[in-house]
Amino acid sequence: MTFPYTLLQSSYWMSFCVCICFATIYLQGIGFSNTKLGIVCALGNLAGVFLGPYLAGMMDKDERCAPVKIMLCILILQALCCIVLRFVMNSEIFSSIFYILYMMLCVAFDTPLLKVYSDLSYAEKKVDYSLARGMGSLSFMAISALLGLLIEKTSVKAVLYSGILMTVYQYLTYLYIKGQMPEIRLQKEADQSSSLSAFIRSQPAFVIMLCGTALLFFAHNNITGFLINVVKNVGGDTAVAGFLNSFMALIEIPVMLFYTKWFGKKDQKKVLAASFIAFSVKELSFALSRNLGGLYFSYLFQAPSFALYSASIVPYVEEKIEYKDRAKAQSLAYTLTTIGSVLSSVFAGTLYDHTSVNNTLWISFFVSLLGTLVCLYAMKKEK
């Protein structure tokens, strides 16, 4: 089942790239100011991360809410948003409303996507999650480069047309895996899933650890989301920032592709803990960097931090959380990291505007260090 799930991951991350990563370019292209597009992006992401746990609760508690059914609903609404956006480009209000909805749906799709993996794993259908996720990142890189060139040759309308095309691709991969799910659903255990609030009360250490990851991703996004500021601080330009982004992706993809082979048999708790420490080491390295070589060196820690976390959090949840609550656990993990990134989008710009880049990087390091300590403390308190 690795191949069909890899296609599903690939189509999702291509669609995610179009919707989320090109949001700024699209909204600027139709006349939005930086402030207004920042509000739209923040609201879209936040709506998505809150919708995710709600959908997870539905899937855990009601067998009629199979992940493939949730996926189909999201894809239909996603396509409709892209179509409507094409015809309201001259209306700032309607463009804002429908782009927020588009982002919300795209972010929330990750919840049924992870639930599909959880169901396949529970039914003992072999799926190499890290390989699938790594191919998703490769697909993300490919569509990012192609869409950038396409927009340069045409216009920002290419974002909407690409959004529709990627949604169709998602639908095709959905059809491919859909037929494999009913047998898996029938094997689901009968006992009732707990509510989201009850789950949080029953897993306090796990939830505290996830709060720590929000701090880690706040600091992480302070650099990745505002890389051009960091690059210019050491004498680089936009081209250098582009090369650094590509270097970052090249560093993290091998870990995702070969995670199962390299770390699959190791204690997932220890692997996850190592990634938490690496986040802070990376932030410290950035804070100490004074030239472009230092930035490239700092991004070497992308592999043991972000890549290792992304690949290990899913099997860690599989080990720790009962099947009936795994969708909620996976969704909460995604929600807290996204909240950290969204808060960074809101506050990091102010930090860069009102203090030096060096000071911002040191603040990011101390926030990351606090996140690491919170995560390690919570893991120590686990039952």
Note the pLDDT of residue 186.
43
Please state which CATH class domain 196-381 belongs to: mainly alpha
Give me the pLDDT at residue 219, please. Answer: 94
3-state secondary structure string across 316-371: HHHHHCCHHHHHHHHHHHHHHHHHHHHHHHHHHHHHHHHCCHHHHHHHHHHHHHHH
Cα–Cα distance measured from residue 326 to residue 247, given in angstroms and rounded to the nearest whole number: 33
Task: Let me know if the fold of 2-186 is the same as that of 196-381.
Answer: yes
pTM: predicted TM-score of the whole model, two decimal places: 0.77
Q: Are the beta carbons of 252 and 133 closer than 8 angstroms?
A: no
Hey, what are 29's tokens?
Answer: 């292209």
- Cβ 357 vs Cβ 216: under 8 Å: no
CA atoms within 13 A of residue 135's CA, in its CB half-sphere: 14
Contact of 74 with 108, CB cutoff 8 Å? yes
Distances in Å between the alpha carbon of 308 and those of 137, 215, 259?
13, 17, 8
Tell me the residue type at 38: G
Can you give the pLDDT at residue 238? 66
Residue 381 CA neighbour count, 13 Å, CB half: 13
* Ranges of H-type helices in 179-237: 181-186, 196-202, 204-224, 227-233
Residue 91's contacts (CB-CB under 8 Å, 6 or more residues apart) are none
Q: Specify whether the backbone of 332 is left (phi greater than 0), alpha (psi in -120 to 50) or beta.
A: alpha
Helical (H) or strand (E) element with 138: helix 129-153
The reported pLDDT for the residue numbered 265 is 81
Per-residue pLDDT of the chain (383 residues; tens, 9 = 90+): 788 889 999 999 999 988 987 887 888 889 888 678 878 888 898 898 888 888 887 776 766 777 888 899 999 999 999 999 999 999 999 999 999 999 999 999 988 888 888 888 777 778 888 888 888 888 888 888 788 888 878 888 999 999 999 999 999 988 888 776 645 444 444 455 567 778 888 889 999 999 999 999 999 988 887 777 888 888 887 677 767 877 887 888 888 888 888 887 888 899 999 999 999 999 999 999 999 999 999 999 999 999 999 889 988 988 888 877 887 888 888 889 988 988 887 788 778 888 899 999 999 999 999 999 999 999 998 76
Closest CA to 78 of 44, 47, 106: 106
Strands (E), the chain: none
Q: Mapping DSSP to helix (H, G, I), strand (E, B) and coil, where does residue 125 land?
A: coil
DSSP state, 194? P
Domain positions in the chain? 2-186, 196-381
Task: Report the run of H or E that residue 50 belongs to, with start and end.
Answer: helix 34-61
How far is 242 from 225, CA to CA, in rounded Å?
A: 12
Quickly name the fold that domain 2-186 has: Growth Hormone; Chain: A; (1.20.1250)
Q: Tell me the C-alpha distance between 377 and 367, whole Å.
A: 15
